[in-house]
Amino acid sequence: MLKIVEAPDPILATISTECEVGDKSLLRLAKQMAKMMYANNGCGIAAPQVGVNKRLIVIDVDWDGEESASKNPIFLVNPEIVEAKGEKVIDREACLSCPGISVPVERHPWVRVGYFDLDGEEWEIEGDGLLARCLQHEIDHLEGKTLFESCLPEVRIKALQAYDQAKAMGAKPGESSIEVQ
């Protein structure tokens, strides 16, 4: 059974290895990751967040958290940002691996990402808003970057302190009650 890996676990700071395109064993892992993401009210999850050092992410930015809502996860194998456009925008982000907090993060407002699906077919996805933010956030995980490395430098120490406080209060993945300014 997979579980959410929480910072400062060293696997979150490790650059993930490429998956073998078309590897049928990825299907089981991807489905387990999606189940973990939905169970913790996430809109994205990367394999390192469940302790697996592979370049695999799952996203579903349309799911609204309701059990009866339609779930349409997108599974991205070996995703890479092909293009990022626009003046960077600051917005709040939370992370399943850093429960209890949300922090301001600066991201491109639009990205195009190349990836393979679970059948080994090559695709591209492009998007703005939450989709662009989620893609960049999850790909950061594949590069060994957590929310703390991605947040604005001037809030990093406050974010680490707030995370320690949230953990001491028993924060669980999917919770983000402390907003770091």
Least Cα distance to 151 among 110, 96, 93, 98 occurs for 93
Instruction: Report how far residue 64's alpha carbon sits from residue 43's, in angstroms, rounded to the nearest whole number.
Output: 9
CB-CB contact of 57 with 141 (8 Å): yes
Positions annotated as catalytic residues are: 138
Tokens 């799911």 locate to 63
Bridge partners of residue 56, in order along the sequence: 77
Beta carbons within 8 Å of 45's beta carbon, 6+ residues apart: 33, 34, 36, 37, 57, 58, 59, 96, 138
